Structure 1
Amino acid sequence: MKKIKIIGSILFLLIAHQAAFPQQKVNLGKYFSALHKNQHFNGNVLVAENGKVIFKRSYGYADFDTKRLNTFATQVPIASITKTLTATAIFQLKDKGSLKLTDPVIKFLPDFPYPEITIKNLLSHTSGMPSFDVLMDSLIKAHPDTVLTNKDFLTAIKGTKIPLNHKPGEKWNYDNTNFVVLALIVEKLSGLAIDEYFRSQILKPACMTHTFFPAFTFYHYTNREKQNLAIPYFTPYSYSGQRIRSDSIPFLADYWHKYNFRGFGETISTVEDLLKYDQVLYNGKLVNAATLKEAFIPYRLNSGAYNIAWYGLGWQVDRDSTFGKVVNHTGGVAGLSSVLVRNITKHQTIIVYTVGSDNAHIYAIDAMNILNGRNTAYPKINTANLYAATLLKSGTKIAAKVLRLAKRDTSNYAINEDDFNAVGYDLLGGEPVYRLKPPHHYQQALEIFKLNTSLFPSSWNVYDSYGDALRQTGHFAEAIKMYRKSIELNPKNDDGKEILKKLLKN
């Protein structure tokens, strides 16, 4: 009798869980529709549990110029999610007995100039290796028109005297160079170029038929490669709807014409292919379960403490999840972000990419919350950006009307101190991003900062920022007043105190 009751209870829980899916689907639809409506999201999302797709939807354009829509077949530069493929290749070689994760790199690459670095250091971003910008600097200067590939990497750094940034295992520092070296190890042991290894040992077993590796890593895609590609568009200023094709930005195009290294960011894939990849990682078809378990543990530094990012071996580990063991890897290029989130405990998967935003990971975590029944605030219109855009286009009176509307409709409009602060600095104009010369809207910037002090009069930071803007624009007497107010509200504002001292001396 007890056995029957237990089976009945299990069936009830299963039915109840399945019955929750329609509501989860509705809630996910509301969330992502609100994101898209409020111009925060333009891309694809896929949510699955135990390999079963619960929610899958496309929003907006894959190419804003041609108005080509996103579809489930849209192919996406997944950038650093590629690092999980390289890690998988290393794990496969480990499972075959070809290497140990504790092996020094020089065991396989004798010309490697840092004998103390191990494979684990590379996988965990704790090697201390300089970036390839630093390592390749002299070669690039001597041969400015050369396109460097994996074949050139070891030759270029053989015998280098450039020191490590820190001892291996001492600190964590995310750097693409680590995974270029890992790719070289895979190539050495397998006898295959890393792209070919990926195709034969990962893509084929996973049936990832819509994933490929372009001729160039970023921003130099051929017309054929771009036929079904999500084109990255960079939004340089938060207050405008301007979008710039990332491949049209000279600095990006020039930079990624010098480097065509593999193993860290070159993959083009789809949300559906990434789900296939996710599933073969679960079923042990690619890597032994014990090896993956080790990969999903945050790497401990020489001190015994976990690294600051809680990065494992090729995977980011979520330290705050209440839903079980959650790992992920993000991917980002200028104008596009992507993420693969895996709840190992519940076999839940969230895959997101979005054009024109770097918030894919935030949206995926919200989706994980919704999937698990946790209340998640629906995205609202960024009032600060709307106010600033209106201010520039139509002046103070019309902008004030926008603000009054937002105050009356707080269910749809967000009035946030940090948003106004951010757009104020955007209007002020700062350091060039990707060497694009920023416009300076000083008058409107000051108006925004002043408005923020009236919206949030008890915040020390709004007065500090307003003081900074006044100082930068030569209004020193007014800046002094703002810094004094900021310090009054926060006596621990040491940076403000130092600036105030300098202002008072002048």
Structure 2
Amino acid sequence: MRKIIYFQYKRLSLVFFLLLFALTGCHSSGSKAARFDEYLQSCFENDQFNGCVLVAEKGKVIYHKAFGIANFDPLIPPHLDSQFRLASVSKQFTAMAIMLLKEHGKLDYDDDLQKYLPELSYPGITIRRLLTHTSGIPKYEDLCEQYWDVEHENFLEKKYATNDDIIAMLVEYHPDALFKPGDKYVYSNTGYVLLASIVSRVSGEPFEVFMKKNIFDPLEMSHTLVFSAIREDPMENRVYGYRLALNGSDYLPNDFHYMSGIAGDGAIYSTTGDLFKWDRALYTEKLVSKSSLEEAFTPVILNDGSTHNYGFGWSIDTSLTGKKSVSHGGGWIAARTWIMREIEEDNTAIILTNNTTRYMSAIQKGIVSILHDKSCSLPKINISQFIGKTLVTQGVDAAVTQYHDLRNTKPALYNFDKWELNTLGHELLRLEKMTEAIEIFKLNIDSYPEFPRAYSSLGEAYRLNGNPEQAIEAFEKTLEIDPGNWYAIEKLKQLAEK
């Protein structure tokens, strides 16, 4: 069985270290760079940001800096060549691999999935539909939750899954397609896992080898690779994930998941500098033609003639000046990542983090606002982070009272999103604080009575606490709001069997 080791470090004992290495990196002189620095330094000191940021304006880097912690064992800071997990920012590279094969005459975007993966019987799904998240292919995450290594309920003890395992589960269990290909846009990690497998089968090479030979090496992205936890690929400057503990003072490792042997939808590690090389290459024909790039940056057309602002591995939008912009974010384990390219203005922003931050969206807005000489505000403090400290020191009743008081008196200062209490509740479950978790999930239901996840989370807390009747009631309520909720359906089946 895999040995899982947890390290705890007191935040106060690291203050000097963190402030010292917040200065790691460099930035150009000028008010805009100074504003970036002031903004990110404040986010860092509020435990909202840890990582590396690069911003370029009109093709020139105007800010590049690293903040915080890269690893605890040994304790080291990140630097400008630190290699971060990209999570779903990896998808644009998988899409490029498909584009390269298409330009070389090895496949076509409108080829059927079964031409390359004949064992999968999902009619009508094409490569184009996989690229644009319009295929309707089932979610492999759900398959893993239900069927993967079921003898180990604790995910920390599960063996690693691979692309081949995902395909095998799709064959064996064959869940229904979510919708007819082309009818809808529904973001799909499965689609990009299958694209990576197609790359391997068509090229005759392992996915990681094809990517290195055809993308990373030609662009001199020497710090970039497709990583597998199974292969344990070496990285000199690898960054490891962590999270802030509930008490607000301990740092805990957060870098393992049994799906870390899967590639295509994620798995790439890179640096801000290498991603800027990638950005520069996409203004040229070093990899594929300009017409191929234009197609990648074109919204997908659905069966009814409507469009959705997603191309081949890129979301498509407009900048604050109304000009074309493409971007993609990522989130997996502790990694929260983002690349934004304002392609008609030649501006770029790259953010790579490793601290499980839930402030990424707000930080992105701040970076873009400063880039365009707009005013910006620091991110609101997540209410779960704030009352979590109270819960640890004063108890759950005090935390509930504080939540109500702050929501009534200071709603503009804190983030009261429906996911906040859900996140706090699941952290309490992880800590086996069942009674406290139940009270927090109840509070979320009181605040958001139409939020199905609040009920399913409460049901799971009751189940783990040995209260099957209350668990059944909560899962049934989930299905009243969300009749197709597979998680509630599966849990009710399990409870009925006992």
TM-score when scaled to structure 2? 0.71
- Deviation digits for residues 263-287 of structure 1, max 9, x if unmatched? 1211111111111111111112112
- Deviation digits for residues 19-69 of structure 1, max 9, x if unmatched? x98221122112112211222111110001343211011111112454311
Query: Which of residues 150, 158, 165 in structure 1 aligns to 2:178?
Result: 165
Match of 1:194 in 2: 207
Give 1:388 deviation, angstroms: 6.1
Match of 1:17 in 2: none
Unaligned runs of 5+ in 2: 1-27, 153-157, 459-480, 482-498
Letter in structure 1 aligned against 2:242: Y
For the residues of structure 1 that align with 2:341 and 2:137, how far apart are their CA atoms?
Answer: 29
Q: Does the 8 Å CA contact 1:428/1:440 hold for their aligned counterparts?
A: no
Q: Does the 8 Å CA contact 2:192/2:265 hold for their aligned counterparts?
A: yes
Give 1:380 deviation, angstroms: 6.6
Say yes or no: does 1:273 pair with 2:274: yes
Match of 2:389 in 1: 389
Cα 1:142–1:338 shift into 2, 3 Å = closer
For the residues of structure 2 that align with 1:84 and 1:221, how far apart are their CA atoms?
Answer: 23
For the residues of structure 2 that align with 1:358 and 1:207, how far apart are their CA atoms?
Answer: 32
State the superposition RMSD in angstroms. Answer: 4.2
Letter in structure 1 aligned against 2:314: W
Unaligned runs of 5+ in 1: 1-19, 407-413, 450-459, 473-494, 496-506
Match of 2:360 in 1: 360
Say yes or no: does 1:375 pair with 2:381: no
Say yes or no: does 1:233 pair with 2:242: yes
For the residues of structure 1 that align with 2:392 and 2:142, how far apart are their CA atoms?
Answer: 41
Cα 1:210–1:345 shift into 2, 3 Å = same
**Secondary structure class of the residue paired with 1:331:** strand
Say yes or no: does 1:35 pair with 2:51: no
- Deviation digits for residues 368-388 of structure 1, max 9, x if unmatched? 221121222245767885576
The within-5 A match list for 1:484-499 is none
Letter in structure 2 aligned against 1:132: Y
Structure 1 range deviating more: 26-35 or 144-153: 144-153
Q: Does the 8 Å CA contact 2:428/2:437 hold for their aligned counterparts?
A: no
**Secondary structure class of the residue paired with 1:341:** strand
Give 1:88 deviation, angstroms: 0.4
Q: Does the 8 Å CA contact 2:112/2:125 hold for their aligned counterparts?
A: yes
In our comparison, the structure showing a higher alpha carbon Rg is: 1
Q: Does the 8 Å CA contact 1:430/1:438 hold for their aligned counterparts?
A: no
Letter in structure 1 aligned against 2:414: D
The within-5 A match list for 1:169-184 is 169-184=182-197
Q: Does the 8 Å CA contact 1:111/1:159 hold for their aligned counterparts?
A: no
Structure 1 range deviating more: 373-382 or 176-185: 373-382
**Secondary structure class of the residue paired with 2:264:** coil
Structure 1 range deviating more: 297-306 or 174-183: 297-306
Cα 1:202–1:72 shift into 2, 3 Å = same
Cα 1:102–1:44 shift into 2, 3 Å = same
The within-5 A match list for 1:77-96 is 77-96=85-104
Match of 2:218 in 1: 205
Cα 1:433–1:263 shift into 2, 3 Å = farther
Cα 1:433–1:314 shift into 2, 3 Å = farther
**Secondary structure class of the residue paired with 1:196:** helix
For the residues of structure 1 that align with 2:273 and 2:40, how far apart are their CA atoms?
Answer: 18
For the residues of structure 2 that align with 1:221 and 1:303, how far apart are their CA atoms?
Answer: 45
Q: Does the 8 Å CA contact 2:429/2:437 hold for their aligned counterparts?
A: no
Percentage identity across aligned positions? 30
Cα 1:427–1:100 shift into 2, 3 Å = closer
Match of 2:131 in 1: 123
Q: Does the 8 Å CA contact 2:228/2:262 hold for their aligned counterparts?
A: no
For the residues of structure 2 that align with 1:424 and 1:209, how far apart are their CA atoms?
Answer: 38
Letter in structure 2 aligned against 1:116: G
For the residues of structure 1 that align with 2:360 and 2:205, how far apart are their CA atoms?
Answer: 33
For the residues of structure 1 that align with 2:346 and 2:50, how far apart are their CA atoms?
Answer: 26
For the residues of structure 2 that align with 1:263 and 1:182, how far apart are their CA atoms?
Answer: 7
Say yes or no: does 1:437 pair with 2:432: yes
Cα 1:305–1:394 shift into 2, 3 Å = same
Match of 2:33 in 1: 25
**Secondary structure class of the residue paired with 2:61:** strand
Q: Does the 8 Å CA contact 1:392/1:444 hold for their aligned counterparts?
A: no
Letter in structure 2 aligned against 1:83: K
**Secondary structure class of the residue paired with 1:243:** strand
For the residues of structure 1 that align with 2:148 and 2:385, how far apart are their CA atoms?
Answer: 41
Match of 1:132 in 2: 140
Letter in structure 2 aligned against 1:176: N
For the residues of structure 2 that align with 1:90 and 1:389, how far apart are their CA atoms?
Answer: 47
For the residues of structure 2 that align with 1:71 and 1:141, how far apart are their CA atoms?
Answer: 38
Give 1:437 deviation, angstroms: 3.2
Specify which structure has the higher proportion of helix.
Answer: 1
Give 1:135 deviation, angstroms: 5.2
Equivalenced residue count is 413
Q: Does the 8 Å CA contact 2:428/2:436 hold for their aligned counterparts?
A: no
Query: Which of residues 182, 185, 204 in structure 1 aligns to 2:198?
Result: 185
Q: Does the 8 Å CA contact 1:63/1:69 hold for their aligned counterparts?
A: yes
Give 1:343 deviation, angstroms: 0.8
For the residues of structure 2 that align with 1:129 and 1:191, how far apart are their CA atoms?
Answer: 24
Q: Does the 8 Å CA contact 2:225/2:269 hold for their aligned counterparts?
A: yes
Cα 1:385–1:68 shift into 2, 3 Å = same
Cα 1:100–1:147 shift into 2, 3 Å = same
Cα 1:120–1:192 shift into 2, 3 Å = same
For the residues of structure 2 that align with 1:443 and 1:261, how far apart are their CA atoms?
Answer: 34
For the residues of structure 2 that align with 1:380 and 1:158, how far apart are their CA atoms?
Answer: 45
Match of 2:342 in 1: 343
Letter in structure 2 aligned against 1:103: D
Cα 1:202–1:441 shift into 2, 3 Å = same
Match of 1:453 in 2: none
Letter in structure 2 aligned against 1:177: T
For the residues of structure 2 that align with 1:261 and 1:24, how far apart are their CA atoms?
Answer: 40
**Secondary structure class of the residue paired with 2:345:** coil
Letter in structure 1 aligned against 2:227: P
Say yes or no: does 1:419 pair with 2:414: yes
Structure 1 range deviating more: 108-117 or 53-62: 108-117
Say yes or no: does 1:215 pair with 2:228: yes
Cα 1:45–1:282 shift into 2, 3 Å = same
TM-score when scaled to structure 1? 0.70
Match of 2:329 in 1: 330
Letter in structure 2 aligned against 1:337: R
Cα 1:427–1:159 shift into 2, 3 Å = closer
Q: Does the 8 Å CA contact 1:385/1:419 hold for their aligned counterparts?
A: no
Query: Which of residues 67, 82, 98 in structure 1 aligns to 2:75?
Result: 67
Cα 1:368–1:134 shift into 2, 3 Å = closer
Give 1:298 deviation, angstroms: 2.2
Q: Does the 8 Å CA contact 2:382/2:415 hold for their aligned counterparts?
A: no
Letter in structure 2 aligned against 1:419: Y
